[in-house]
Amino acid sequence: MKRILSLLLVFILFMSVLPSSAEDYEEFDDDAEYEFDDGDMEFDDDLGETTEEEFEKSKENMSALSGYHDLDFLEDGDYVYQPMEDNESCQAMRYKGFDEDAEVPEKLGGMTVKSLYQTFSDCTMVETVDLPETLESIENMAFWKCISLTRIEIPEGVTKIGRCSFGGCIGLSEIVLPESLEMVDELVFIGCVELKEITFGKNLKSIGTQAFHSCSQLEKVRVPKGTEIAEDAFENCPALGEIEYYDP
């Protein structure tokens, strides 16, 4: 009996160090509806010091997460990638490195990097990311819960930012957006509690539902006239005054 209890305890401890489960990283169902209860959402905006033990645990978690893609996709250095239909370009699917300052190359496996998808999800130690000029889209959960990310510049040529791309980035205080950006999808900046100001380029056409939900310190937003903004795009943003519209 004691042996059985001991094995059960080891199993429970093992499961507790794994990430929340692949459910958090599976592809979104485009037809599904997602609702968020304000009362259930908590983002700790106190980053504090990362201990060596926490750092090692984060490495273990990310190694486990990288296995989510390894069976189906290719690898080049610190990245897992997927070729696109033209077999000349690719989508960066997962960052497997542990550097605080990451750089996405212009090519992976000889293919031009045009998109990110879940690439840096839950990479808790990454502080900066240098993106390639070849990039055209940032897809779902590309930087999900990158809690140490403070600033990012998205290059010209990117036209879309997908669902939850920067959700839970509680340290993100500055983001530079390109003039080429046309679409901000649902929940893109949800929980970015340090973000205070954002300006969109003249080509922006739409901002999706709950895109800035719970951005508690967001004070100023500038968008071009004619932009289609979801009714609840800025839900639970108590510091935000009127949105400033300008002539493109």
CB distance 104 to 132 below 8 Å: yes
Place of tokens 């990638």: 81
CB distance 74 to 80 below 8 Å: yes
Write out the DSSP string of the chain.
-HHHHHHHHHHHHHHHTS-S-GGGGSPP-TT------GGG--------PPPHHHHHHHHHHHHHHHHHHHTTSEEETTEEEEE-TTSSEEEEEEE----SEEE--SEETTEEEEEESSTTTT-TT--EEEPPTT--EE-TTTTTT-TT--EEEPPTT--EE-TTTTTT-TT--EEE--TT--EE-TTTTTT-TT--EEE--TT--EE-TTTTTT-TT--EEEEETT-EE-TTTTTT-TT--PPEEE--
Return the minimum-mean-pLDDT range out of 43-57, 112-126, 134-148, 187-201. Answer: 43-57
d(CA 187, CA 230): 11
Q: Read off the pLDDT of residues 76-91 as tens digits, 9 standing for 90 and up.
A: 999 999 999 999 999 9
Give percent above pLDDT 90 in the chain: 70
Domains of the chain and CATH, by start? 51-246 (3.80.10.10)
**Residue scoring higher pLDDT (14 or 242):** 242
CB distance 171 to 151 below 8 Å: no
Write out the DSSP string of 77-97.
TTEEEEE-TTSSEEEEEEE--
Give the chain's mean pLDDT.
82
Q: Read off the pLDDT of residues 119-140 as tens digits, 9 standing for 90 and up.
A: 999 999 999 999 999 999 999 9
Instruction: Report the pLDDT value the prediction gives residue 73, as an integer from 0 to 100.
Output: 81
Q: Read off the pLDDT of residues 225-237 as tens digits, 9 standing for 90 and up.
A: 999 999 999 999 9
Per-residue pLDDT band for 56 (boundaries 50, 70, 90) equals low
Place of tokens 């080429």: 180
Per-residue pLDDT band for 215 (boundaries 50, 70, 90) equals very high
Instruction: Report the pLDDT value the prediction gives residue 55, as an integer from 0 to 100.
Output: 53
Instruction: Report the pLDDT value the prediction gives residue 42, as an integer from 0 to 100.
Output: 52
CB distance 210 to 230 below 8 Å: yes
Return the minimum-mean-pLDDT range out of 17-21, 112-116, 137-141, 208-212. Answer: 17-21
Instruction: Report the pLDDT value the prediction gives residue 60, as an integer from 0 to 100.
Output: 56
Instruction: Report the pLDDT value the prediction gives residue 4, as an integer from 0 to 100.
Output: 43
